[in-house]
Amino acid sequence: MTLSLMRRTATVSLLGAHTALAPAPALKARTEDELDGCADETDAAMKPFRPGTNGLKGLHLDGRYVSAADGSLPNTPDPQEFGSAELGRDTRRLLLDFYRTHTGLCPRDRKQHHALPTMTRVVADILLKHEIAYKGMLQRLQLDSQPDDMSFISCIAKTMFKDHTTNWGRIVSLVAFGAVVCTHLKELQRERCVETVAEQISSYLISEQHDWLLNNKSWHGFVEFFRVEDVESVDLHKLQSGSRTPEKR
């Protein structure tokens, strides 16, 4: 994928806090460096949280993205490459591996999902850049009063995608929100709920974002979209190419 195709702009608001995908500096080829946002607007944008049905009364989540076309990858393959059953298994395995690893509940020597390193890297970048915003989200959420079924997560996901706009940036933002929830659950000694968080987000993606995922090469497309280009190798190749003496004809 060329650098120009990887430059996308996106803005997502979780519980009223904004996370964005913005163009990276010209000399940086890392897609995750494009992740930036308006975390300073968190306090002004978030409305008071008052527990209600599923603890969501007064809980507002919105997401608006601007991306190249519809945010999908170019030259997507035939959706039949990935069956529905395979997509379901693949999604559940990735998110379960990710949240277990994120909270230290997964053995390091266990064979893990091929997209786990990419997911770990991109989510870590988001959480590092928007730590204050996510802390504010947890305060509004009042996680210690939420039931073990974690049903509020599916409600948040549906609200986040209510404008029917989907792209990888928005999906990663949802996964990052789940990571924050899982970390706090562990602090509350509710590790038993980590798998439930993974299941809630997996179920939403499989049921509501099924077609989009298939049309964008599933998690293989995710890895491709956030691939880190080896700048040193590219530069070395250019130097080697430039040093070659043209053959005489």
pLDDT reported for residue 228: 82
Asked if 23 contacts 69 with a C-beta cutoff of 8 angstroms, the reply is no
Give the mean model confidence (pLDDT) for residues 35-41: 39
Q: Distance between terminal CA atoms of the chain?
A: 35
Question: What is the model's pLDDT at position 46?
Answer: 36
pTM score of the predicted model: 0.67
Instruction: Please tell me the predicted confidence (pLDDT) of residue 112.
Output: 86
Instruction: List C-alpha distances in Å: 115 to 61, 219, 238.
Output: 27, 7, 29
Beta strands 35-36 and 62-64: pairing type? unpaired
Which of the 8 DSSP states describes residue 52? -
pLDDT of residue 18: 37
Judged against a pLDDT cut of 70, whether residue 71 lies above it is answered with no
Q: What domains does the chain contain, in order, with CATH numbers?
A: 3-69+82-230 (1.10.437.10)
Question: Residue 226 burial by CB count (10 A; 0-12/13-18/19+): exposed, middle or buried?
Answer: buried
Average pLDDT score over residue span 111-126: 94
DSSP-derived letter for residue 13 is E
Name the nearest CA neighbour of 1 among 90, 76, 69.
76
**Residue 50 and residue 63 in contact, taking contact as beta carbons nearer than 8 Å:** no
* pLDDT of 227 higher than 80: yes
Q: At 60, phi and psi to the nearest 5?
A: -115, 135
